Amino acid sequence: MGDTAGFVSARRLFLAGAIGLALWLGATFLWHVTYRQGVSLAVILLLDQDFPALLGSLLLLALAAPWAEGKGFALPRPTARIVVPLIVLLGMAAWAGHYALFQDYAISRDEEVARFAAAYMREGLFARPIPMEWEPYRRAIMPEFFSPFGAADYWTAAYLPVNSAIQALFWQLGDPNLAGPALLMAGLFALWRVALHLMPDRPDAVWVTVLLGASSSQLWVTAMTPYAMTGHFALNMVWLALVLRGGMVGHLSAGVVALIAAGLHQWHFPPIFIAPFILWMLLARRWTVAAFHVLTLVAIVIIWAKVWPTFLMHALGAPIDIRPSAGVADKVGSLFERLGDRWQPLVNITRYVAWNNILMVPLAMLGIAAMRWRAMIRGQEIALPLAMGCIAGCLLALAQGYGWGFRYAHGFIGPFCLLAGLGWARFRPQGAMRPLLIGMAITILASGYLVWRTHAFVAPYAASHRLIDSSEADVVLVDPRGGLYVTDLVRGRNGVPGKPMVMNLGMLSLDQVDDLCKSYVVELFDRAEFRPLGVPLARWNLGRMDALRAHMKEEGCDRPVQPPLPESFQDAFNAADNAM
């Protein structure tokens, strides 16, 4: 069928998508690369990962346009018997990917802090007491993202506790790295249930929704990590499924889910997702239900912005070292400050598009176009709150540092997929699945490239961590100069600081270095070790650290990190063979 019957042809969809995304990609390249505005880690990753993947996908999309229309392979009805095993397989792949792709290593400080908190929660603690001998060096051992409450005596993660608590639970069950895959499966299951609810007479549109989510590289690669964003995706979809179920049980359960989601790591993420649905309820004159969810948002602020910090202050002590930043005014002020200083919509949205299905955005645009405006004003169009949330998630395009795709919009991948399904149901003939299958094939090719480049980026840091962790010294001092984000290597083993105690050399005074060299066996990890492992070069210097290093050399306290000696002749032979 063609446009004359009220449908949008696959050819036009492919060409419009390719042209629109190409224009956005071109604008991103001009702004961030040609004119070098806002050069950051995101731009480095864009050039290495996203630009080639997205450029190739756009070319394939345009080349496939003439052959895009048609039925393709017929898909069975999306029943639980078929969809649930597919979701389980994706979860298993994400779990295996943590070890195969990320080499059992969490690259960013955000992830390490989440695992750090999970480790002390697993032991039944709210914080890790700082051993007395290490208190003078506490900030060099925990350089950032620590809570200010009782910070002279305790190491506590700056983030809210629920993500780490979930990891601690799975740790007790056997492996904390199962947490992300389990949440991914829960989110995809809820996405499928919502799609069935919204499009019961269009199984093909349900398949579009589910397969767009299942083929999202951002979803399943992020599920390999300790990032809280997989939890936001999952709980957002569970919340929506419960709201659409309706009734007292549905809405009360949704309220509980919202409270849990707000405690994952930062409380402001769920309100951004929920607020458009409250507007939708108000337009439909569902006053009682809207009032309940407004009260839920109030409860979120009270519990996580007021009660939790007060609890930490009483349990651990008054804030010290840095100002507390958990208050409502602090949070709102910080968001507006970062929007002014670190707003990068071009690069972040480009990364988001590259890491999701190539058809997700074009089909989501059809979902927005499918809205009937009079029905929307009466609160009868679910596409309205879905679209408002997606727009809000993309507009909050703050610099994220590391991330596979754009993680601050992670919780809106589900709404994007649902909008795409609604657009497909309105503008595509039933059963004509060839364009979806072509889009899946292109996305799988792009995903393979992204996975390869991600492995290449993570591998030097994972190797550096293994080298540091193998040291038999008491203390390893990390001199991060000359390497990109080498400070993130300052961490313990499985979230627990211990031997060797790893410290950031740049956060120590000359007297502290002297005391360490006199009292402990100290080794040094610097560019001589991490550059051969492949850590990207960063051109920066710090004169004070030059003086520290010169002093350490005079005192004979600059021995580099060395792996332990082989325990047997066979180990030595294997090591020599590997070196050759």
Task: Check residue 481 and give left, alpha or beta (phi > 0: left; psi -120 to 50: alpha).
Answer: beta
Q: Model confidence over 318-366: pLDDT tens digits?
A: 888 764 444 555 555 555 555 555 788 999 999 999 999 999 999 999 9
pLDDT at site 134: 96
CB 126 within 8 A of CB 147: no
Tell me the whole-structure pTM to 2 decimals: 0.92
**Distance (Å, rounded) from C-alpha 326 to C-alpha 331?**
6
Q: Is the pLDDT of residue 577 over 60?
A: no
For the stretch 409-424, pLDDT in tens is 999 999 999 999 999 9
State the average pLDDT over residues 378-383: 92
pLDDT at position 4, please? 41
DSSP reduced 3-state for 369 = helix
Task: List 537's β-bridge partners, or say none.
Answer: 483
pLDDT for the residue numbered 337: 56
Question: Can you tell me the mean pLDDT for 158-164?
Answer: 96
Mean pLDDT of the chain: 91
**In the predicted structure, residue 168 carries a pLDDT above the cut 60:** yes
Does the pLDDT value for residue 17 go beyond 80? yes
CB atoms within 10 A of CB 305: 20
Q: How far apart are CA 487 and CA 382, in angstroms?
A: 45
Which pLDDT score is estimated for 2? 40
Region of poorest pLDDT, from 112-116, 128-132, 297-301, 397-401: 397-401
Q: What does the pLDDT look like over 77-91, one tens digit per residue?
A: 999 999 999 999 999
Dihedral sign for Cα atoms in the order 509, 510, 512, 517: positive
pLDDT band at 314 (very low <50, low <70, confident <90, very high): very high
Q: What is the dihedral of CA 140, 145, 148, 151, to 10 degrees?
A: -30
Domain parsing of the chain, residue ranges: 10-83+177-454, 101-176, 459-578
Q: CA 419, CA 391: separation in Å to the nearest integer?
A: 12
Q: How far apart, in whole angstroms, are the C-alpha atoms of residue 542 and residue 422?
A: 55
- Cα–Cα distance, 140 to 155 (Å, whole number): 12
Which of the four pLDDT bands, split at 50, 70 and 90, describes residue 1? very low
Collapsing DSSP to helix, strand or coil, 340 comes out as helix
Q: By mean pLDDT, which of 149-163, 246-260, 552-566 is the weakest?
A: 552-566
User: Are the C-beta atoms of residues 212 and 420 closer than 8 Å to each other?
Assistant: yes
**Residue 336, pLDDT score:** 52
Give the percent of the chain with pLDDT over 70.
Answer: 92
Calculate the CA 188 to chain-centre distance.
16
> Where are any strands of DSSP class E within 507-555?
522-525
Is the predicted pLDDT of residue 540 greater than 90, yes or no? no
Residue 505's alpha-carbon distances to 442, 451, 479, 501, 544, in angstroms, are 46, 33, 5, 12, 11
Arithmetic mean of pLDDT, 531-538: 90
Average of pLDDT values for 237-249? 97
d(CA 107, CA 111): 7
Tokens of 398: 């703050």
